[in-house]
């Protein structure tokens, strides 16, 4: 059955958290309720938390938002999480989720979408490249504060 992409509901959070825990092996108690409050509930005009549902089951999710003038850049869409349940992969669910959030960004007049990924995450790199995403003219920097 083809997955349908829609806005997240509070009742989806348990499945979303389970997909994330299966992928990252790191359960995050409290985190998903907080993300839902910030991105998924009420009228959050620049923030999006979407899920793909097939036969009543959540198969994947995507979260992102439109940000203005950060890093000196005109407004653009940021995708900061996308995950598909391992058993539902390679069936177009990830592509559908990305297209859906890009469609939401476009409705806000955004013409550029960005993301960031771990250098050694070949899977997510292959996926984003397959969607036409290219290296951006930015350099991420970090500093240990511990």
Ligand X SMILES: CC(C)(COP(=O)(O)OP(=O)(O)OC[C@H]1O[C@@H](n2cnc3c(N)ncnc32)[C@H](O)[C@@H]1OP(=O)(O)O)[C@@H](O)C(=O)NCCC(=O)NCCS
103, 111 in Cβ contact below 8 A?
A: no
Asked whether the beta carbons of 73 and 28 are under 8 A apart, the reply is: no
84, 100, 110, 113: residue in contact with ligand X (rule CB under 6 A):
84
Q: Do you know the residue count of the chain? A: 146
Residue bearing tokens 């439109």: 66
Site string for ligand X, 37-76 (x = CB under 6 A): ----------------------------------------
Selected range binding ligand X among 29-37, 68-76, 117-125, 138-146, rule: CB under 6 A: 117-125
Between 37 and 129, whose beta carbon lies closer to ligand X? 129
Taking CB under 6 A as the binding criterion, the range among 36-44, 102-110, 124-132, 135-143 that sits at the site for ligand X is: 124-132
Q: Does 116 bind ligand X (CB under 6 A)?
A: no
Q: For ligand X, give the closer residue by CB, 54 or 124.
A: 124
- Report the C-alpha gap between 61 and 69 in whole angstroms: 26
Q: Closer to ligand X by CB, 91 or 102: give it.
A: 91
Q: Detail the DSSP E strand segments found in the chain.
A: 4-7, 47-54, 57-67, 76-84, 113-115
The beta strands (E) that lie in 17-146 are given as: 47-54, 57-67, 76-84, 113-115
Q: Are residues 88 and 54 in contact, defined by beta-carbon separation less than 8 angstroms? A: yes
Q: Is 23 in the site for ligand X (CB under 6 A)?
A: yes
Q: Is 127 in the site for ligand X (CB under 6 A)?
A: yes
Q: Is 133 a residue that touches ligand X (CB under 6 A)?
A: no
Under the rule (CB under 6 A), what is the footprint of ligand X? 23, 81-84, 89-95, 121, 123-124, 126-127, 130
């Amino acid at each position: 059955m083809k997955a349908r992409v829609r806005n997240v509901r509070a009742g989806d959070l348990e499945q979303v958290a389970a997909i994330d825990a299966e992928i990252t092996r790191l359960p995050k108690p409290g985190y998903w309720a907080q993300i839902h409050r910030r991105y998924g509930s009420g009228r959050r005009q620049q923030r999006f938390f979407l899920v793909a549902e097939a036969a009543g089951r959540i198969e994947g999710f995507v979260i992102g938002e439109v940000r203005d003038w950060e890093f000196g850049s005109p407004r653009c869409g940021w995708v900061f999480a996308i995950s598909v349940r391992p058993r539902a992969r390679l069936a177009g669910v990830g592509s559908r989720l990305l297209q859906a959030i890009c469609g939401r960004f476009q409705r806000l007049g955004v013409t550029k979408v960005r993301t960031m990924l771990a250098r050694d995450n070949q899977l997510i790199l292959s996926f984003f490249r397959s969607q036409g995403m290219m290296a951006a003219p930015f350099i991420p920097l970090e500093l240990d504060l511990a």
